[in-house]
Amino acid sequence: MGGITEAKRVVALASAFNTPVIPHGSSVYSYHLQIAFQNCPMAEYINLSKDGDQIVPYFGGLFLDEPLPKGGRILLDSDKAGFGVTLRKDGLMRPFVRSQEEVDCQFKRNAEYLDSFSYDREVKPIYPF
């Protein structure tokens, strides 16, 4: 399954049949889903420490403030937007270098692709519930 929208659909369907769901550990991405639905009774935390004897961030040092379990619970800061984590920007780099010409070419391709859609027709979203 991919994405939070698809996960919400699965959890909503399971809820209709009074079936609990425990998403496979994906840290902050699962925690918000689990807090939002009553049929997600717990969160899976995958311990990635070398010897399994420490609580370490799931994403290593990627986030400045990744929530970690304390006393068997995860607390999320409701005042933070999105998934509530801050990307650590120092040390980030592209996996490969692109020239300005390549960047411009990709930008043009993306714009042409988006322009190929007709926005004249009414689009109705599909909701699972």
Domains recognised in the chain with CATH numbers: 1-89 (3.20.20.120)
Both tokens of 68, joined, read 């970690």
Tens digits of per-residue pLDDT, 34-73? 888 999 998 888 888 889 899 999 988 899 999 998 888 8
pLDDT for position 16:
95
Tens digits of per-residue pLDDT, 100-126? 999 999 999 888 888 777 666 565 655
CA nearest to 32, candidates 11, 47, 14: 11
Report yes or no: 6 and 29 within 8 Å, Cβ to Cβ: no
With residue 28 as reference, give the H or E element that holds it.
helix 28-36
pLDDT of residue 6 exceeding 70, the answer is yes
Positive or negative: CA dihedral 41, 24, 64, 87: negative
The residues that are catalytic are 24
CB-count burial class (<10 Å; 0-12, 13-18, 19+) for 27? buried
